[in-house]
Amino acid sequence: MIDIHSHILPYIDDGSNSIEHSLRQLKQAEEGGVSTIYLTSHYFPGHYQYTRPEYDEKLDALRGQAKAAGLKIKLSSGFEVFIQPGILKDIKEHSLTLGDSPYVLIESELNGLPSDFYANVYPLLRAGYKPILAHAERYVSIMRKPERARELADRNIHIQSNAGAILGHYGEKVRQTAWILLENGWTHFLASDDHVRGEYGALFEASKLIEERIDGRTAELLTLGFPAKIETGEDIPYSYVRVKSSRHKPKKKSLLRRIFG
Ligand SMILES: [Fe+2]
């Protein structure tokens, strides 16, 4: 599995506040089958103050400590970028993408989305970035009208859901919304958004549940197939649900064959 959203990098945002806890979390992730994890610290000027070199320094330190602890999990750089007017400049200047890819994990007001959301994302698209909306099921406007997630995908924004949302950790309404997005094929990524508050396991539990309730192919696409394309910079389809071609419908028997068998 590849986890594209986590706050396991310590001392930088509202995620981990201890190296020991971060290492414990990474160990649990690795043992459960995560091979790569993106350490997507919040990028929200005015709320979390750090420079890109400070982020890189913290990431390098954690990589060293993880290696010393015998961990093999790959720690990739990333940010969860709060969308606001003019954010493209910051994304360009500080390379606020997932690894070296064109994909950018974005977030907005949870009680929104604000009316200027798309207007602020559109410049990213025009500049060649590929935005992924983090935890889409947590936005009030998407809870009210889940089809909005499809509308976003129609406008070239990928959708990420939180494992905890699938399991009901954010309440019933968020859980229901997350399942509606999944069942309609509007979710492209399942990720932990782990803030190091408890155990890491939600991603594994949620993936298993998707396998049981939807199918193994969907669980695999959301936790490995699509995230792997971020690493290689490949395109990820906005619509991926297979629709059976009408050419494969069984042919109707002719009148004579129906009569005589
Ligand atoms: Fe997050």
How far apart CA 190 and CA 207 sit, in angstroms, is 8
Above 70 in pLDDT, residue 205?
yes
How far apart CA 149 and CA 61 sit, in angstroms, is 37
204 CA → ligand 1 middle, Å? 18
How far apart CA 84 and CA 90 sit, in angstroms, is 11
HSE-CB for 151 with a 13 A CA cutoff: 9
15 CA → ligand 1 middle, Å? 9
Average pLDDT on 73-90 reads 96
Average pLDDT on 205-209 reads 98
Residue 60: CATH number of its domain: 3.20.20.140
42 CA → ligand 1 middle, Å? 7
Average pLDDT on 113-118 reads 81
5 CA → ligand 1 middle, Å? 6
211 φ/ψ angles, rounded to the nearest 5 degrees: -60, -45
In-domain check, residue 167: yes
Above 90 in pLDDT, residue 206?
yes
In-domain check, residue 127: yes
In-domain check, residue 185: yes
Structure tokens at 198: 């408890």
In-domain check, residue 76: yes
pLDDT in tens, 17-52: 999 999 999 999 999 999 999 999 999 988 998 999
Q: Please report the pLDDT score of residue 115 as a whole number.
A: 76
User: How many domains is the chain partitioned into structurally?
Assistant: 1
155 CA → ligand 1 middle, Å? 22
- Nearest Cα to Cα of residue 175 among 184, 192, 162: 162
In-domain check, residue 220: yes
Q: Please report the pLDDT score of residue 135 as a whole number.
A: 97
10 CA → ligand 1 middle, Å? 14
Q: Which residues sit opposite 40 in a β-bridge?
A: 78
In-domain check, residue 254: no
pLDDT in tens, 121-150: 999 999 999 999 999 999 999 999 999 999
246 CA → ligand 1 middle, Å? 42
Mean pLDDT of the chain: 93
pTM of the predicted model as reported, rounded to 2 decimal places: 0.91
